[in-house]
Structure 1
């Protein structure tokens, strides 16, 4: 079936259509994220609840819950052949991302000096576009980054947990390292776009790219906030 063709054997037109669908779904995910985030921030109850979760063990539990939701959403999107189920999994992940971002974006809006949120968003989108372009134009295979990203993610998670348990700040250089990790994830996910996915897997591909984009945005925003 043509719909299940691997992209490495597809025509230029078929590849272009897959890329348009994938990045269209990433853009759609960003728009839904902005809408859900806006709605969350309009509720003082949700904002207060999200801020209360920043304290010690509660934030650790929140991160654990977010990881479970992320794993479930990714599994649903990757394994289901029902497009509606894939969209529901994608939407669930976007909502989870929007909630986890509530404290950070609230602080950026309420306490930061200058248009920090806008600056972080512009830099994030610029880096995302540039990194994606590198892969799409060169067609280089970055699949070797998978093991590096996995190991680095476990190390980062361990540092985050240790910071919460023992009450120390991870600091600016940790955020810089996480930006590098997110950049690697974008290269890896874009490489999968070129070399791994079949032409009907644009929702799966979009979720992978969206998650890397959100990770990049989180730590770029933290760096901008650390200047104040």
Structure 2
């Protein structure tokens, strides 16, 4: 028997659309397990980075003016490379390195926001002192609810791809304009970005159901983790905007 014939029976490379329910359930379990691991790793790395005061101060200094554009540019390059590693390779080591690079990049870009949130949280009184926890719980609840909608209904949300692409281009343009001209995008923009992140979760979960092969759970997890972090960023900003 030649190699091509035997590979035909290798279920690790089969699209989810043709495998049985048991194989599909295993893929979902692995994917969301890796999302959980990536989230936990993000928390650990963030906690370590927050203890490095010179790094925190350095990141704070970069948030002023046009230098933040360079940071965002570096972040986008790093995450784009990480996504290619995780999605376009069947090499498990490459996939995990891509996921790790993505998590580290997220932890670095989140560093100033989390540091400000901790300062803001410390200044609050009473029940509002759990700012970060409240934002995290709401983010996870929305993520779970949106994922459940797709997993239960099996609806194909691939039509959102063009809408999300246009939305993200507009958002990036507004962020750049805000930095250059020095205006605050405000609460409305954060709300719009939460909607965009919600659409991204629907789209990524739809890909999970309809697009991936059974060996691509690391790449699928990276896509979901990316949307989860975007949602958390803007929910946290909304919580911090409260009086």
Gaps spanning 5+ residues in structure 1: where?
A: none
Alignment RMSD, CA only? 0.7
Moved over 6 A (4+): none
Which of 49, 54, 60 in structure 2 is aligned with 1:45? 54
Which of 188, 201, 207 in structure 1 is aligned with 2:203? 188
Which of 12, 20, 37 in structure 1 is aligned with 2:21? 12
Which of 106, 111, 118 in structure 1 is aligned with 2:120? 111
How far the C-alpha of 1:159 sits from its partner, in A, is 0.2
When Rg is computed on C-alpha atoms for both structures, the one with the higher figure is 2
How far the C-alpha of 1:216 sits from its partner, in A, is 0.1
TM-score of the pair, normalised by structure 2: 0.93
How far the C-alpha of 1:115 sits from its partner, in A, is 1.0
How far the C-alpha of 1:22 sits from its partner, in A, is 0.2
**Comparing 158-167 and 74-83, the one that deviates more:** 74-83
Aligned to 1:170: 185
Matches within 5 A, 1:5-154: 5-112=14-121, 113=124, 114-154=129-169
Number of residues paired by the alignment?
A: 228
SS in 1 for 2:28: helix
Gaps spanning 5+ residues in structure 2: where?
A: 1-9
* CA offset digits 1:39-86 (Å, max 9, x no partner): 000110111011111101111111111000011111111122211111
**Comparing 102-111 and 202-211, the one that deviates more:** 102-111
Supply the distance in 1 between the matched residues of 2:40 and 2:209 (Cα, whole angstroms): 24
* CA offset digits 1:19-52 (Å, max 9, x no partner): 0000000000000000000000011011101111
